[in-house]
Amino acid sequence: MLMGMITVDGLTRDYGSGKGIFAVSFSVEKGETFGFLGPNGAGKTTTIRHLMGFLKPVSGKCEINALDCWKDRDKIQAQLGYIPGEISFFEEMTGTEYLQFMEQYRRLGTESRKEELLDFFQLDPGVKLKKMSKGMKQKIALVVAMMHDPAILIFDEPTSGLDPLMQNKFIDFINAEKKRGKTILLSSHMFEEVERTCDRIGIIRNGRLAEVNPVQELRNRHVRPYTVTLETEALAKAFAEDFHGQRNGRKVTVTAKQSLEDIFMHYYGDESLDQHSTV
Amino acid sequence: MISTALYKREMKRSIKLLLIFCTVLTMYIAIIISMYKPELAKMLDKYVELMPELMASFGMTGDATTLTGFMCSYLYGFILLIIPMLFSIIRGNGLIAGYVDKGSMVSLLSAPLKRRTVVLTQMAVLISGILLLNLYITAVELFFAEYDYPDQLHIGHLLSLNTGLLFLHLFIGSICFTASCVFSDTKYSVGAGAGIPVLMYILKMLANMGDKADNIKYLTFFTLFNPDGIVDGELKAVIGIIVLLTGAVILFTSSVVVFCRKDLNI
């Protein structure tokens, strides 16, 4: 029984020689932000292509809002915003022309959020798409994905190519959309953006979903408390302040949190070994 | 059924190509028709006498006693086959495979439109281009024939001739379009979409050249379009062009089915 806004159930596509995705199952609840984390080639994009109705499931199935991702793809697209991992527009157009085309193509009228989004991302689209930097193209893709104000967002590595300032801005944007009740699937290999935006994280490796966990749980898992005793209370006070610890007399308890990155390494650390053994 | 926004965009992209091809056609048709003066026609016929194989390979067999016969011989063997064929090859490939290969098909499919709508729109663009080219050819032929030799052209003959030409080009277009839908890689899409019609044309040239090679004509679909036969009202020639039209309908339909069911790695 499939539940949730986005459900993937036993999705398999074998490209041979260990490539592909194998029995991937997860679901994203309404209003939830789900992080889809994994290194390049792990199967994130393949999974997303199934969700988009570009690929037909060989076995297993996927649904969005109780609609079949392959059969009802056009109905799903009406409420979906998508940023592809590799962006390719109509290169001969300017950004303005492209956005205008997409508005007409989608048959958007006055309800388009185009202007608002262009303002938010401080984007001047009057340049030929061919001449745009990767970051600018990424912003155009974002505007296209969001201008029809979709309820479900699927972003495939949306911040690659953005500078740190824009990445922050993007994370703020995601969080704002989340507050507006959007269901979001965010694929990434950047721990920080996932940690700062997502409720739950699915970790995919070699085409298999290794684990699905709430971010908080992942974060807590590797928390280690240390209690140290300082020589004087004044020293203890300074120590507690510098290391954000809890002071009790001369005793101070500090906690070391592993970053998500370290947790990630825990899952993928031996990846290089895997590759060597298969070569 | 089709997307107006996409149709407009694609027709804009076709226009440039159409303008270039129409210019070439205008010049070529104008020159050939003006040569239908007895003395010039004699010159052309002399070429035919001197190098019958080479001239015949382009469908130029001489002995044209009427203006229509002259046009059949000197226009419908080469230029009127090649130019619209080039259009179909270039546009057919760009309309589907080009988008898939570059990945920009994502823009067209991540919108609430059925794949069928997208592929039918692109098909409509290709067919519109072929139709426009054929209409233009007819208009230019009429104009120059009437201008140079008033009342000598049998308009009914010209119209049935160009209907046949249209069916032939719809068939060629359907080959290019099917190749574009089947292959996701432009390398293969162009390979099949251009390779098949060009190979067929080369076979036709070989078949035209001589008695021994005559049987090659059964290997190429160009044989189904027989201008002289159409003008003479031969049943075989009429069946030929109906076969071409049927082939076009079948291939265009299959291309839609293929594209709608296809896995796209975009």
Distance in angstroms (rounded) separating the CA atoms of residues B87 and B14: 9
Distance in angstroms (rounded) separating the CA atoms of residues A188 and A107: 31
Interface of A with B (CB under 8 A): 49, 52-56, 73-75, 77-78, 80, 82, 84, 86-91, 101-102, 104-107, 144-145
Chain B, 2 to 61: residues with Cβ < 8 Å from chain A are 3-6, 9
CA distances from A278 to A34, A272, B138, B241 (A): 31, 10, 65, 58
- End-to-end distance of chain B based on CA atoms, in angstroms? 24
pLDDT at B137 over 90: yes
Distance in angstroms (rounded) separating the CA atoms of residues B230 and B79: 18
The first and second tokens of residue A143, run together, are 């505007």
Q: Which amino acid is present at B260?
A: C
Report pLDDT digits (tens) over B139-196. Answer: 999 999 999 888 888 899 999 999 999 999 999 999 999 999 999 999 999 999 999 9
Report pLDDT digits (tens) over B186-218. Answer: 999 999 999 999 999 999 999 888 777 788 888
Distance in angstroms (rounded) separating the CA atoms of residues B31 and B140: 11
Contact between residue A25 and residue A10 where contact means Cβ atoms under 8 Å apart: yes
Distance in angstroms (rounded) separating the CA atoms of residues B234 and B237: 5
**Of A93-107, B10-24, B107-121, B210-224, which range is least confident?**
B210-224
Give bridge partners of residue A63 from the DSSP assignment.
Answer: A7, A68
Distance in angstroms (rounded) separating the CA atoms of residues A245 and A225: 10
A263 or B22, greater pLDDT: B22
Contact between residue B192 and residue B97 where contact means Cβ atoms under 8 Å apart: no
Distance in angstroms (rounded) separating the CA atoms of residues A32 and A197: 10
Distance in angstroms (rounded) separating the CA atoms of residues A192 and A219: 12
> Which of A73, A74, A102 would you mutate first to test chain B, the one with the most B CBs within 10 A?
A74
Per run of 10 residues, the mean pLDDT along chain A (length 279 residues) is 81 89 94 90 92 95 94 95 91 93 90 89 91 90 93 91 85 92 90 84 88 80 80 89 86 76 67 44
Give residue B52's pLDDT: 77
> Which of A105, A106, A138, A153 would you mutate first to test chain B, the one with the most B CBs within 10 A?
A105
Sheet containing A208-214, strands listed edge to edge, beginning at the edge strand earlier in sequence: A80-83, A152-156, A183-188, A33-37, A200-205, A208-214
What are the backbone angles phi and psi of residue A94, rounded to the nearest 5°?
A: -85, 165
Give bridge partners of residue A239 from the DSSP assignment.
Answer: none
Domain-wise residue ranges, chain B: 4-261
The first and second tokens of residue B78, run together, are 């080469």
What interface predicted TM-score (ipTM) does this complex get?
Answer: 0.85
Distance in angstroms (rounded) separating the CA atoms of residues B235 and B232: 9
pLDDT at B53 over 50: yes
Strands A6-16 and A59-64, sheet pairing: antiparallel
Distance in angstroms (rounded) separating the CA atoms of residues B61 and A186: 68
Give residue B183's pLDDT: 95
Strands A33-37 and A183-188, sheet pairing: parallel
Contact between residue A199 and residue A214 where contact means Cβ atoms under 8 Å apart: yes
Give residue A8's pLDDT: 95
The domains of chain A, with CATH numbers, are 6-214 (3.40.50.300), 221-278 (no CATH)
Give residue A274's pLDDT: 47
Give residue A277's pLDDT: 39
Distance in angstroms (rounded) separating the CA atoms of residues A101 and A114: 12
* Chain A residue nearest residue B99, CA to CA: A90
Contact between residue A215 and residue A195 where contact means Cβ atoms under 8 Å apart: yes
